[in-house]
A and B are shown apart, each in its own frame.
Chain A
Amino acid sequence: MHGFKQKAVILDTEGIRRALTRIAHEIIERNRGIDKLALIGIRSRGVPLAARLAGKILQIEGKEVPVGTLDITLYRDDLSTLSTQPLVRKTEVPFPVEGKTIVLVDDVMYTGRTIRAALDAVIDLGRPKLIQLAVLVDRGHRELPIRADYVGKNVPTSKKEDVAVLLEEIDGEEKVIITEEDKHY
């Protein structure tokens, strides 16, 4: 068994806050307001991030945007290669997606496969007018032709490294770090 050791802190509490604030502004600007806008967080850490973005948009625009939660397990393309099935949790999108501009929110963008699954999952809920993607960190190494519309921070990484996003709501602490497999662990 190998452990992971922390190599570098990419974002701290302040860094995460500033990145999300900037993304909130960009979302409003790009879409010329928040009419017909909705946020959908991808489980797990996309969920608190989507909620925070909605909070920031409320501060700026004075209006609430609907927020949903997406579980992409049933859309994964690797189900048959896993030895045991990952837990399926609920998708909760309590608003119609038809005609909406949907901003998918996730913590880290890597191969693009999660986003591919999320796109399918959203489209199965209805036909949005537009789907955009916001991620806190883009670490590169794409395996599909997918690109984020809003990026908190671009972080070049090697494949041996891992990017961990820790959020207060889930992890009890707030930072983004690069870790590497520690063979001496």
Chain B
Amino acid sequence: MPLLRKDLLGLEGAGADEINLVLDTAASMKEVLGRKIKKVPALRGKTVVNLFYEPSTRTRTSFELSAKYLSADSVNIAASTSSTVKGESLKDTAATLTALGADLVVLRHPMAGAPHMLAGHIKAAVINAGDGAHEHPTQSLLDMYTVREKKGGIKGLEVAIVGDVLHSRVARSNIWGFTAMGARVRLCGPTTMMPAEIEKTGAHVYSRMEEALDGADVVIMLRIQLERQQQGLFPGIREYAGLFGLNEKRLKLAAPKALVMHPGPINRGVEIAHEVADGIQSVINEQVTNGVAVRMALLYLLMGGGPGEVAN
């Protein structure tokens, strides 16, 4: 089944078939990554623009390498929203990118919905590389890839997501993605960081870490932004780590061989203890490798379209 969309803006509404297509394609891409010559000619002559309005070495590098391994040309544009206030609007940027001949734009933006807006103004495919607190679909796809690879499947698994769900685009994409794949999602974090009516997604909400971890097959820890303390969302790091930090003792409550994941970058000793981050159950580094395979798959799937491309 082909990916019948022009863009990848989010995972809300995505079906298991579509997700599986991406993950299967990513598995083929991972084989390419294992070769001595990690490069195939599939996207020769295609241009990928990485348009980043937020600094993110990790995601940007992952996309950049993905494009290179597929022989596409890639350009990085580091923009800032503050300069666009007086400078170019996103709409004008879209026109510029079209004029430059971009085939696909990877957009990271601090405002939710910016990729939707860009996609409406541009012929090129758009991949959402994280928009505000909305979605981060490629992170979720690589999380699902990692889980599928390690666990042999996703259906029926108990997936716990712990931390600042309110501000987390990773949490939102993972709720949609894992739920579509037949997993049960549990959310845990301070009530001040749990978004309104989140239980309507079908996820189960816990405020005690011990309950959320009990028997979980996958534990996804979210990064806590330290500035949330100033916003009055939690009283301090020490108390946060005490209530919601993942340590070895707590990890024992999860299912045996439960996977520990984190979208990075990690606040060691805050949301996750050293020994857990570096422990045998941690697949944090595999996530990074799989991120390249998943992004290669997405570039390949979204950039085929000739004139007969199917609009989203």
A and B: direct contact (Cβ < 8 Å)? yes
Interface residues of A (CB under 8 A from B): 71, 73-76, 79-85, 87-92, 120-121, 124-126
Chain A minimum-CB-distance residue to B103 = A80
A87 touches B32 (CB 8 A): no
Query: Using a CB-CB cutoff of 8 Å, which residues 95-109 of chain B contact chain A?
Result: none
Q: How far is the CA of A57 from the CA of B19 in the complex (A)?
A: 42
Which B residues lie at the A interface, using CB under 8 A? 2-4, 21, 24-25, 27-29, 31-32, 35-37, 39-43, 45-46, 70, 297, 300-301, 303-310
Contact of A74 among B4, B32, B308 (CB under 8 A): B32
Q: How far, in angstroms, from A62 to B79 measured CA to CA in the complex?
A: 65
Inter-chain contacts of A125 with B (CB < 8 A): 35-37
Interface-central residue, B2, B40, B70, B303, by most chain A CB under 10 Å:
B40
A79 touches B37 (CB 8 A): no
- A84 touches which of B27, B39, B310 (Cβ 8 Å): B310
Given A79-B42, A84-B2, A125-B35, is A71 in contact with B28 using a C-beta cutoff of 8 Å? yes
| Smallest Cβ-Cβ distance to A77: which chain B residue | B41
- B75 CB to closest chain A CB (Å) equals 19
Contact in complex: A74, B70 (CB < 8 Å): yes
Residue of B nearest to A88 (CB): B28
Can you report 28 A-B residue pairs in the complex whose CB atoms are below 8 A from each other? A73-B42, A74-B28, A74-B40, A74-B41, A75-B42, A80-B45, A82-B304, A82-B306, A83-B306, A83-B307, A83-B309, A83-B310, A84-B2, A84-B3, A84-B310, A85-B3, A85-B304, A87-B21, A89-B24, A89-B28, A90-B27, A90-B31, A91-B28, A120-B41, A121-B40, A124-B35, A124-B37, A126-B36
Given contacts A83-B310, A92-B31, contact A75 B40 (CB under 8 A): yes
Q: How far is the CB of A40 from chain B (nearest CB, A)?
A: 14
- Are the CB atoms of B31 and A85 closer together than 8 Å? no
CB proximity of A83 to chain B, nearest CB, Å: 3
User: Cα distance A124–B37 when bound, in Å?
Assistant: 6
- Asked if B2 and A88 sit within 8 Å, CB to CB, the answer is no
Q: A88-B300, A92-B31, A126-B36 are in contact. List 12 more A-B contacts (CB 8 A).
A: A75-B41, A80-B45, A84-B3, A84-B304, A85-B305, A87-B21, A88-B28, A88-B297, A89-B24, A89-B28, A90-B28, A124-B39
Cα A88 to Cα B28 in complex, Å, equals: 6
Which A residues are CB-close (under 8 A) to B297? Answer: 88
Give chain B residues whose Cβ lies under 8 Å from the Cβ of A87: 21, 24-25
Contacting pair B35 A85 (CB below 8 A): no
CB distance from A118 to the nearest CB of B (A): 13
* Separation of A99 and B27 alpha carbons in the complex (Å): 28
List, in ascending order, chain B residues with CB within 8 A of A76's CB.
Answer: 42
